[in-house]
Structure 1
């Protein structure tokens, strides 16, 4: 089996969370090889050193890619809409041409079961595979359909299996920049709104309880499954726990159920990779 290619895009402040993600990935995907592509705007090599060392120890290959400013010369950017919001959708333009698929993960994620079944999913001519967080309330989906003029569920952009060959054919920076310029006053979650408005019709739906579990919504998932998706079920079956929203388990006051599990992996990371100190893990 070949390696699984992963994509992350983040700034320096999220490097400790990336290390926790890597720890969870390693412990719950035994024997797998991973190639990690990191899109960034200029993280110093010294700051990236802990991740570099961890990848060496895990025997993962790390490929940092500095995103050139000139690629975004025509991009509408503000404090609310930084240029980083474009990176994942335009990844096909900067990633090696021999890559035909990649799995994007937000850094606020734990991987607690194997990713291979997702990696091997047949995408056909879809651009992406993604999950909608439909369990909490259908009202949010309805509001987003009206707001964006779409007819499909509102997909979360934190986990994207990307068909890079189709992305290179079908996604253009000009189209994205034009959409943002025309709709910037209407957008609430910019990168996610762009994904849904422009490309939602070409997204293959994933089951969020398996591949993009909203860690805030344990009770909702359990009720929707008539009690089947209890804690044991999640630990045995869910592959990706996503700590969505403003509340984060590495910040004080996090009260959702899976916060202690996150702190467990953070502690393992700190114990085995001293440069990822407990102080840095608690940074915002």
Structure 2
């Protein structure tokens, strides 16, 4: 059994359907417990996910957040309460859980996740990947901006040790950091992960576990041609459609957009009886 965590609002409900469809198709026979942290989703959406999960043989655990939990948190249109959910997951999820994989909703799973689930990261809070790209420029800029020495990790895929998180992640310390550094946070939740917990992150291979779908040419160049499309389809488990350009929007120009659109069609058919 693998535990999967997702957080979203109703605008990303179509992408949730695509993500879950890809998960089911590319991990046949695997049992997933799907945990959803949310603040306000229509009941018909939650019921549709429940019905689909039941048909897939998965357990669905929607957990509505109490606004009072974030009463002392700096919250605004730029810093919505939802940005805290993944970092505070150890405090928000049932205490009997000890490990979970967090996935952003703008993701396709194209190979099994079990090897990630079984990764030995004893003593580390998180497993995450850095998108270093063709050069170290982005890493260097973010190190300087946040005053850290480690790589700048992407927060869209996280393997989380929930037991350690309950010991080490203090909500008040996170809220205090946001209050004191709010002018410096460019990507608030990701900046928080790196600034506060970057030294407690076990590095994952982004080409396998958090492939930036915008950067195909960079992956090919940095691997001297090895990470071509065939390699990606055989080895990459998680395709992450990072950034503002999204494959479900008009004008998407990157290589794996057509693959995402294929899964959109599959999701449309497989979810129709449950909507």
- Separation in structure 2 between the aligned mates of residue 179 and residue 276 of structure 1, nearest angstrom: 42
Aligned residues of 1:269 and 1:276 also touching (Cα < 8 A): no
Q: For 2:272, what is the secondary structure of its paired residue?
A: coil
- Separation in structure 2 between the aligned mates of residue 141 and residue 276 of structure 1, nearest angstrom: 43
**Displacement of 1:267 after TM fit?**
0.1
**1:130 equivalent in structure 2:** 128
Is the aligned partner of 1:169 residue 2:167?
A: yes
Is the aligned partner of 1:237 residue 2:228?
A: no
Q: For 1:221, what is the secondary structure of its paired residue?
A: helix
Which segments of 5 or more consecutive residues in structure 1 lack a partner in the other structure?
278-284
**1:149 equivalent in structure 2:** 147
Q: For 2:249, what is the secondary structure of its paired residue?
A: coil
Which segments of 5 or more consecutive residues in structure 2 lack a partner in the other structure?
none
Is the aligned partner of 1:228 residue 2:226?
A: yes
1:76 to 49, 57, 74: 74
Count of aligned pairs between the two proteins? 275
**Displacement of 1:16 after TM fit?**
0.9
Aligned residues of 1:16 and 1:276 also touching (Cα < 8 A): no
- Separation in structure 2 between the aligned mates of residue 273 and residue 91 of structure 1, nearest angstrom: 28
- Separation in structure 2 between the aligned mates of residue 250 and residue 109 of structure 1, nearest angstrom: 12
- Separation in structure 2 between the aligned mates of residue 246 and residue 197 of structure 1, nearest angstrom: 23
Q: TM-score, normalised by structure 1?
A: 0.95
**Displacement of 1:45 after TM fit?**
1.3
Q: TM-score, normalised by structure 2?
A: 0.98
2:87 to 89, 93, 112: 89
**Displacement of 1:44 after TM fit?**
2.1
RMSD: 1.1
**1:29 equivalent in structure 2:** 27
Q: For 1:130, what is the secondary structure of its paired residue?
A: strand
- Separation in structure 2 between the aligned mates of residue 220 and residue 265 of structure 1, nearest angstrom: 24
